[in-house]
Amino acid sequence: MKEYECPAVPDNLRPVLAVAAEELIASGTETPLRQRFFVVLEELFNNVALHAYKDQLEAGTVRLAIKASQDYVELTVMDQGPPFDLTTYDDANRLQRLENFQPGGAGIFLVKTLSSALAYRRENGWNIVTSVMELPPGEA
């Protein structure tokens, strides 16, 4: 398992992606799963960087934990922003409302769509989001 912590600012996305790439490559993760993972990681990281600490003068912290194998990746993203359970965010009709499409919320939709399982919990002042991505049979 790889753990990483940094200030939650958009400029740190690139180093976060580099650390994650090293871990996934070292774990032998299949390319289609890596592609899915990077979209989920970018969306979750940007949500924290842009929204979790927006009312604070200084950037807060984001913590990441990555467990990977050839056909499985588990990503945990933690922040100390206000409680926000993305699993209950109502985006069920997002694609049916394209004529009234509004910016925002697409990242959560992507995370939900690309994750095999998605969980949220609040613990000791931390938002903890865990996304599990599995390679479907025959997709390698």
The string of DSSP letters for the chain reads: -EEEEEE--GGGHHHHHHHHHHHHHHTT--HHHHHHHHHHHHHHHHHIIIIITTTSSS--EEEEEEEE-SSEEEEEEEE-SS---GGG---TTGGGGGGG--SSSHHHHHHHHH-SEEEEEEETTEEEEEEEEEPPTT--
Domain enclosing residue 79, as ranges: 2-134
pLDDT per residue over 14-38, tens digit each?
999 999 999 999 999 999 999 999 9
Residue 34 lies in a domain: yes
Written as six digits, the tokens of 65 are: 């934990």
Query: CATH number of the domain that 87 lies in?
Result: 3.30.565.10
Closest CA to 80 of 3, 7, 18, 1: 7
φ, ψ of residue 43 to 5 degrees: the values are: -65, -45
Domain count, the chain: 1
pLDDT per residue over 60-113, tens digit each?
999 999 999 999 999 999 999 999 999 997 766 655 555 555 555 678 888 999
Residue 139 lies in a domain: no
Residue 40 lies in a domain: yes
pLDDT at 57: 87
Residue 110 lies in a domain: yes
pLDDT at 93: 60
Task: Give the CA count within 13 Å in the CB-facing half-sphere of 123.
Answer: 7
28: Cβ–Cβ under 8 A, 6 or more apart, which residues? 69, 70
Residue 140 lies in a domain: no
Residue 28 lies in a domain: yes
**pTM for the full predicted model:** 0.89
